[in-house]
Structure 1
Amino acid sequence: MKLIVNFLTVLCISVLLTTPCFAKQSEEPSQGIIPGQWHLSLNLGLGVMSNPLNGGDNLPLVVIPDVAYYGEQFFFDNGRLGYSLVQDTPHIFNLVSELNPETRFFVDWHPSNLFALTSANSLLTSNSELNKQQQPQLNIDQLDKRKWALDAGLSYHYVFEQHVFSVQALADVSGVYEGWRSALQWQMHNEIGELQIKPSIGIWYKSAALNTYFYGITEKESPNGAVEIGSSWQPYAKIDARWPLNEANYLRFYVAYYDYSALDDSPLFEQTYSMTAFIGFDHIF
């Protein structure tokens, strides 16, 4: 119940802050980014990305880079490489690729971390509860290394006034976990006075192959036998707020909530959610 309340709180805050003011095309050059030129900014402040896995360390966020380049069709945006197929507003189609972000819980220097700013009655026991009874919780240090995987696929964005509706589908093209993931997202670009606010709400679908590779257990890793994890729907919510101090400097506040409660079959989780929070200064070079 506490996890549901946490998610709904972030969700409600996102909705309450949606005052119409301006629109920006997703995966199009954002404010302060000049097409054909590299954009570089540095966020300095205090923040943390929580790690929900047993034995996983929370990642402190002190210095966070923001690197982007948008050409006529090719673009790079904080670890995401893409090619624009259609750029006619309100419809945007892109080919995209990125390292799968699930690895961020197993390694410190993953791009998702570097650029951190997806019942039964009392007489019966559910399958997930049986798995947890039979499988002791495992520390991630006891596991085999989870390899980095490269995902690629298509993204589509529909822009309506200040709203951006997005759909994307990405599959493993590196042969690491041989699965896929997809997402639906709504985002709004707002201004309240000088305050720029960008709330996002979405949900990830992740295949059983993806979940089993990253959060399942192999027979080699546990004497109690392997654990396979099914497919999942995982909601998330984000708020990104900026207050301009001058042309090159902003105050920035960012918070994100990722729900992992659908993966309760896995004995790896200590918490069923991950939170990212940051407050500080953003300087554009």
Structure 2
Amino acid sequence: MRFHLRINTCLLLVLLSTNAIAQKQQHISTDELNLSVSVGVGLITNPLYGADNIPLVVIPQVAYYGQNWFFDNGRLGYSFLQSKQHNVSFVSEINPESRFFIDWHPQNIFAFKTTSENEILESLHTDSPRQVNMNNIQKRRVALDAGISYFFVKQQQVFSAQLLHDVNSVYNGYRGSLQWQYHHEFKQLTLKSTLGVNYKSAQLNNYFYGLNSAESIYGEIEVGSSWQPYAKIDARWPVDGVNALRFHLAYYDYSAMDSSPLFEHDYSMTAFIGFEHTF
């Protein structure tokens, strides 16, 4: 059985993805490289027709926080307003939508050169009316987004908002999010519960999930803007000073994208269980 590992920078965000001020609440030191690796079993379900689920086996986590600059699992930023409760930062990151379209070989994690299998096909195959296989459309480019993020911390709660626009003119649109996260501890067990909603502009949705006349026998199909809720829970149980049991479960709603014939399912889930080692 052929084993494809689809992975991009957004996979690095799926575990321990928080902001600078929240990280300080979790006692991550500044001016130090924080490196850990989670090894286990998991997957990200791909909601598109003809797509494979994305296996999760080895998930590296890399973070560095200076006095203002920080890098956190693929998210590069600069905090220009910091206080005990408030943080405003300029941030940049790879747009996560491309994770459903791009195949990267596992060696790509270690910077080995590889080639993509996702080629443009000359003919269109449809399984049934209003269903388009994602392997039969043109490749979607990787977009780099940048913008402003704001965080408000109150005891164990973190409220955040961000607004990002693509800076390499891939889809010429923007996306935003509102999120609430609650950190709670039960003896040694640490839990993070998250509720949020993503806003995606029509330009973003049209680029990734719309179809042009060459890709669809139905003619050009556009997808409007969308509000998409999500929920996550993350658990960590320390085994010793450097090892811990890790569990992560997330649900992302895509029901607002029902006008796109690329979608087989109206949701995507992420599930992972394994061990985390901190270096």
When normalised by structure 1's length, the TM-score is 0.81
Name whichever of 94-103 and 28-37 sits farther off: 28-37
Structure 2 equivalent of residue 26 of structure 1 = 19
Residue among 68, 73, 93 paired with 2:68: 73
Q: Is 1:247–2:241 an aligned residue pair?
A: yes
Amino acid paired to 2:135? D
Q: Is 1:147–2:141 an aligned residue pair?
A: yes
CA contact (8 A) 1:26 1:164 kept: no
Q: Is 1:230–2:204 an aligned residue pair?
A: no
Residue among 203, 214, 220 paired with 2:197: 203
Amino acid paired to 1:203? V
Would the alpha carbon gap of residues 161 and 33 (structure 1) be closer, same or farther in structure 2, given more than 3 Å must change?
A: closer
- Once residues 262 and 268 of structure 1 are traced to their aligned partners in structure 2, the CA distance between those partners, rounded to angstroms, is 13
Higher RCO (C-alpha 8 Å, min separation 6): 1
Q: Identity over aligned residues, as a percent?
A: 57
- Once residues 32 and 139 of structure 1 are traced to their aligned partners in structure 2, the CA distance between those partners, rounded to angstroms, is 46
Q: Is 1:167–2:161 an aligned residue pair?
A: yes
Amino acid paired to 1:191? E
- Once residues 160 and 41 of structure 1 are traced to their aligned partners in structure 2, the CA distance between those partners, rounded to angstroms, is 27
Q: Which contiguous aligned blocks of 4+ residues in structure 1 show a shift greater than 4 angstroms?
A: none
List per-residue Cα deviations over 1:83-119 (Å, max 9, x = no partner): 0011112111010000100000001349xxx8xxxxx
- Once residues 251 and 65 of structure 1 are traced to their aligned partners in structure 2, the CA distance between those partners, rounded to angstroms, is 15
- Once residues 64 and 259 of structure 2 are traced to their aligned partners in structure 1, the CA distance between those partners, rounded to angstroms, is 41
Residue among 100, 108, 114 paired with 1:105: 100
- Once residues 206 and 147 of structure 2 are traced to their aligned partners in structure 1, the CA distance between those partners, rounded to angstroms, is 21
Amino acid paired to 1:209? Q
Residue among 20, 45, 53 paired with 1:50: 45
Residue among 84, 89, 95 paired with 2:84: 89
- Once residues 48 and 137 of structure 1 are traced to their aligned partners in structure 2, the CA distance between those partners, rounded to angstroms, is 24
Structure 2 equivalent of residue 9 of structure 1 = none
List per-residue Cα deviations over 1:29-81 (Å, max 9, x = no partner): 35463211111101011101100000111011111100111011100001100
Deviation at 1:27, TM superposition (A): 2.5
Amino acid paired to 2:159? F
Q: Is 1:59–2:54 an aligned residue pair?
A: yes
